Amino acid sequence: MTPFPERFTAERLRFERLEGDAVDLFELHDICSPDEETESITQYMPWDPHRTLDQTAEFVEWCESGWEDGEHAAYLVRPREGEDGAGEIAGVTRLECDWDRRTAMLELWLRERFWGRGYSGERAGALIHVAFEELGLDLVSVNHQDGNELSRRAIEKYVDRFGGQYDGLLRNWGPRPAEGRVVDAHRYTISREQYRTSSADADVDVER
């Protein structure tokens, strides 16, 4: 049985497993299709806009496979009632687990209209709680591509809040085959001990 919770909530956000039964494929494809907003999102992401519905279907299947294998958990991020855009898909977040190293890596992308609300930090707090308190892992890591200043500011803010640290530059970390290049990335980590001794409260309600 998969170790991941199907659903959980934070103060302003709710998270539900990304699977075929939980998402309208056409809606998700529309969000991921090439346009000015998506190009802005994917500029620093390890994925390209979905040009066909089949690409979106393959992404959902990949999320389902990783879930069943216990390798990674992908969640739809939706604002809760009372938030602007409540119930809409604000983005997708993922928790990738390296069980041998007792480490989880965080990933996130948000639609541009949901930027600037502090959702990145709230989402991070929720996933960090899941990684440590639900999955029993020892370390959470998060990377951002070199040059991605928006992600850097957001990550530094919540890493500091949860007592974590900057580990350094990972050279030639992310291949970008479509662009014919490889990019560097910056790595940050938070240990379970740092998390538990910080004064931060993630305020997470996990459903099993």
Flag whether 137 is in a domain.
yes
Per-residue pLDDT for 208 more than 90? no
Flag whether 38 is in a domain.
yes
Flag whether 1 is in a domain.
no
Flag whether 65 is in a domain.
yes
Amino acid type, 21: D
* Region of poorest pLDDT, from 3-7, 82-86, 126-130, 204-208: 204-208
Amino acid type, 66: G
Per-residue pLDDT for 44 more than 80? no
Neighbours of 177 (CB within 10 A): 8
Q: Which residue has the higher pLDDT, 138 or 35?
A: 138
Per-residue pLDDT for 39 more than 90? no
- pLDDT computed for residue 201 by the predictor: 73
Q: Read off the CATH number of the domain in which 28 is found.
A: 3.40.630.30
Flag whether 208 is in a domain.
no
Flag whether 149 is in a domain.
yes
Query: Which domain range does residue 15 map to?
Result: 7-202
pLDDT confidence of 49, banded at 50, 70, 90?
Answer: confident
**Over the stretch 100-146, which tens digit does the pLDDT of each residue have?**
999 999 998 888 899 999 999 999 999 999 999 999 999 999 999 99
Contact 195, 145 (CB under 8 A): no
| Average pLDDT value for the chain | 90
The total number of structural domains that make up the chain? 1
**Over the stretch 76-104, which tens digit does the pLDDT of each residue have?**
999 999 999 999 999 999 999 999 999 99
Per-residue pLDDT for 152 more than 90? yes
Share of the chain above pLDDT 70, in %: 91
- pLDDT computed for residue 17 by the predictor: 96
Per-residue pLDDT for 15 more than 90? yes
Phi/psi for 34 (5° steps) reads -65, 125
**Could you write out the three-class secondary structure of the chain?**
CCCCCCEEECCCEEEEECCCCCCCHHHHHHHHCCCHHHHHHHCCCCCCCCCCHHHHHHHHHHHHHHHHHCCEEEEEEEECCCCCCCCCCCEEEEEEEECCCCEEEEEEEECHHHCCCCHHHHHHHHHHHHHHHHCCCCEEEEEEECCCHHHHHHHHHHHHHCCCEEEEEEEEEEEEHHHCEEEEEEEEEEEHHHHHHCCCCCCCEEEC
Contact 134, 207 (CB under 8 A): no
Flag whether 207 is in a domain.
no
Taking the C-alpha atoms of residue 168 and residue 126, their distance in angstroms, rounded to an integer, is 24
Flag whether 147 is in a domain.
yes
